[in-house]
Structures are given as structure tokens and as C-alpha cells.
Structure 1
Amino acid sequence: MQVVALSGTVGAGKSTVAVALRDALLARGLAAGEVDVDAIATETPSPPDDPFNERVVVAHLRTMRPLWRDAGLEVLILPRVIETVAQRDAYADALGEPVRVVRIDAPTATRHARLVARHPPGPERDWHLARTDVLAVLLLAAGVEELVVTNVDRPPSAVASQIVDLLGL
């Protein structure tokens, strides 16, 4: 099983591109699936020392690994902010496979517009708008990704096709 993590800051389009990537791989005859990692992380309260519930995510991936393999899954797509090499390696350890990280990038104005459209005015929107800018700088400096793909002014299917080609899937 190959594992592709679509990283990127808030509002870059990770989840949208993940669905398009799954569809592109299925169209090429590969058994592919995408997992809403953020939903897994938010299904239980986060402890103070693990604000994004990474331990829950890693435990879930470890538990699901044999089921995905038994089902014949060839490519697993994980849309999730990957901030550090240690985080990537924890996912790889849980899944028993290397994790190829693709950072989805989008300009600040595009990310902000997406977040404003997604969240009503208030503290949650304010947090996301602030987080996207901080995270963009952090991810650029971390350099965890194998490649970077821009997600602006083209359909998610085009972004997904580019990822398929660049990764040789």
C-alpha cells in the first residue's frame, strides 16, 4: 500500500484535492481511498499536551492498517497538516509504509477567501484566518514535503492529475 499525505495550511484545499485524487486513482484502476483525518482527530477531546489529537490519529491508523491491507487498498490518501518529520514518521510507523507528503499551496488571498466562505464571522473564523498565515510560514520552513503543488485557478481534478503524474502513480 502506498500512502500519500496531502499537507498544507488551513484553506489550501487538502480535503477537496484528496477526494479528486482518490477519484483520479480509481479512474486509473487503482484501489484508492481517502481518510478524513481531521474528523478522526476531532471525535474525542484533545488533551492539553496534544492539541491536534495526534495520538488518536496514529492509534486509528495503526488499528485500521490490517483492514485496509486485507481490503486490497493500493493507495491511502491522508489530507492532514504534516508539521514535522516526526509526525510524518509516526504515521509511517503506524501504517508500516513510507508516507509521501505533498504540500498543497495556495496564495494568502485565496486561502482567506475560502475560509471566509467556509466559516461564519466569529472566533472560529478568526482562529482559522490567523492559523493559515502562521502555518504557511511553519510548513515552508519545515520542508517535510516531497513536492509542492499549487491549488489556485484550476479545478481540483487538475491538481489531482498533476499529483498523480508527479508521484508516478
Structure 2
Amino acid sequence: MTTALHCVFLNGTVGVGKTSTADALADLLTIRGVPNAVIDLDWLRFAWPAPTGDPFNRRLELANLSAVIPNFRAAGTRLLVLAGVIEGTLQREEYEQVLDQLLVVRLEAGPATVQHRLRRRHDPLDPSLDWHLDRAIELQAILSSADVDDAVLHTDGRDPRSVAAAVLGVLKQQWPTSHIQMAAGDEITQ
């Protein structure tokens, strides 16, 4: 019998802290002895040019994700942390077809926080900065109205480690009977 691969999808607009939180969550899981892996989904779809009708290369991302899941499973991964964007119900269903157990946690921050993070991340002369600033506002509205998340966590004024600790709390609440060992004597199973 194959053990289910639990997947936590950190959803959110650009600059909200998905990748930083994913990295911090991996550290916390490793400390607790939970076999884990992290995928920033941007890298699974990073190709140019994007096909007509698929400007963000979602089909490529899903195909690549499908291809690597068996490798993580074979390596003993129990919890896969994904950082990306799910804009609606149809997209969530596409991920659910590829993944065993999916928990979507949306990270949210106010516009000032997101703008500050994006300006720190991009060179002021980088022409993509304006696109990212505009996309952050647009995407935040899309994600708020899509309502595809199992939980929403606010990242304003919080460092990635404290947000990751909050994600662990969501895991314990949402998967109270999971096979994932969170800490000695503290187990969540499904």
C-alpha cells in the first residue's frame, strides 16, 4: 500500500511571501523529522514563449508536477510544500487530479506590505517591477473572490518562520488524523 503524499499549497499574490514561507516551513518540518520537499511552481512553468491561451504556462506546470510526484514519493517524502497560485475552482480541481491530499493555505498581506516586498526584491530599474506591482493588486482581488482556500493567513508584520508556524497549526487542525509525524508524540494522521 502506498502512503498518501500530503500537499500543502501556499497560495497568494506576488510578493506575499509564499516562497519564503515555504522555505521556513521546510525547516520546521525537518526539525520535527517530517520527510518533506518544497517546489516553487514558478520554476516548473518557466519557459518562453508561453503558448497562446496559456500565458502563465499552467499546462506545462501541471505536466511537470505530475512527472516529479512519483520521484518525491519514491524518495520517502510525506509532505510536499508547493508555492504558487490557484485562481479558481477549476485550477484547484486540476491540482487535485495530480495530488493525493491537498490543503490550500492562502497567504495575504496588505498592499503596502506587498509593494514594500516587491520593491526590495526587484531593482528599481527593472521593467518587470511595474508589472509585478500591478499584478499583485489584480491577483489579490481574484484570489479573494475565488474562495478556493482551506485557510487564510495574514503575513503583515510577520517573518516567514512565524507564518510557517501558523501553517503548521493549520495542518494540525485540518489533518488531525494524518500519517505525518509533526513532532515526537504529536501526530496528525489521515
TM-score, with length taken from structure 2: 0.84
RMSD: 1.2
In structure 2, the residue matched to 1:53 is: 57
Higher helix share: 1
**C-alpha distance in 2, partners of 1:122/1:18?**
25
Q: Which runs of 5+ in 2 are unaligned?
A: 173-181, 183-190
Q: Is the 8 A contact 1:33 1:76 kept in 2?
A: yes
In structure 1, the residue matched to 2:69 is: 65
Q: Which runs of 5+ in 1 are unaligned?
A: none
Displacement of 1:122? 4.4
Give identity over the alignment, percent.
39
Which aligned segments of 4 or more residues in structure 1 are displaced greater than 3 angstroms?
A: none
In structure 2, the residue matched to 1:145 is: 149
Report which stretch shifted further, 81-90 or 102-111.
Answer: 81-90
**C-alpha distance in 1, partners of 2:48/2:29?**
31
Ranked by relative contact order (alpha carbons within 8 Å, sequence separation 6 or more), the top structure is 1
1:80-107 deviation digits (Å, cap 9, x = unpaired): 0111121122122123x13211001111
In structure 1, the residue matched to 2:23 is: 19
In structure 2, the residue matched to 1:107 is: 110
SS across alignment from 1:17: helix
**C-alpha distance in 2, partners of 1:43/1:77?**
22
TM-score, with length taken from structure 1: 0.94
Displacement of 1:44? 4.4
Question: Which is greater in Rg?
Answer: 2
SS across alignment from 1:29: coil
Figure out how many residues of one structure are paired with residues of the other and give that number.
168
Higher strand share: 2
SS across alignment from 1:65: helix
**2:188 matched to 1:162?**
no
Q: Give the partner amino acid of 1:28.
A: R
**Among 115, 129, 136, which residue is 2:133 paired with?**
129
In structure 2, the residue matched to 1:85 is: 89
Q: Is the 8 A contact 2:11 2:18 kept in 1?
A: yes
